[in-house]
Amino acid sequence: MAAHKRGMDGCAFCRTPCPINDADALAMIQTRVAKRDPAAIYYLGQQYFFGQLGLQEDSRKGVELYTEAVELDSIQALFDLGHVYYHGDGVQEDKAKAAEFWTKAAMQGHVESRHNLGWLEGQKGNRHRAYAEALKGHQDAVEEMKSHDRDEAKAYLDSRK
């Protein structure tokens, strides 16, 4: 938002113009991956996982990149690894391991992970624990969303309607 206000469009990292084709986009991402940027590593993992940006679908490579992003503290990669293990996408299905990933992400404030843990408790018949998890996650999410920048961005978007 701050960059946009200053007329700075383009890549959020390097301010170069946004790529206009898959090859240019992939090159930009790989530049950030080489610098060990966890967000870029996670993003590249998604591209492999879903076969985007001209890459052949390769869920194993995606999982490998998600794991690398987790080592660099990517909470979103923790969450997605939970899904990968829960559904057995490119790895051996392991619901306990999925819960471990979601627990680690939830402990770092990831709301969707907390939701998934509540859902798992509900599936086990632990309705009271599931409700408590969901309520705590909602309260945490409301608190985390409070910020001056968020309010400013909302006001800006509302003024454009």
Question: If DSSP states are collapsed to H, E and C, what string results for the chain?
Answer: CHHHHCCCCCCCCCCCCCCCCHHHHHHHHHHHHHCCCHHHHHHHHHHHHHCCCCCCCCHHHHHHHHHHHHHCCCHHHHHHHHHHHHHCCCCCCCHHHHHHHHHHHHHCCCHHHHHHHHHHHHHCCCHHHHHHHHHHHHHHHHHHCCCHHHHHHHHHHHHCC
pLDDT, tens digit (0-9, with 9 covering 90-100), for 106-141: 989 898 998 899 888 888 887 776 677 666 766 777
Fold category of 1-94 in CATH: 1.25.40
Give pLDDT, residue 73: 94
Give pLDDT, residue 23: 93
Of 35-49, 96-110, 136-150, least confident by mean pLDDT is: 136-150
Of residues 79 and 145, which shows the higher confidence score? 79
pLDDT, tens digit (0-9, with 9 covering 90-100), for 52-77: 999 999 999 999 999 999 999 999 99
Segment 28-48 shows an average pLDDT of: 95
Of residues 34 and 90, which shows the higher confidence score? 34
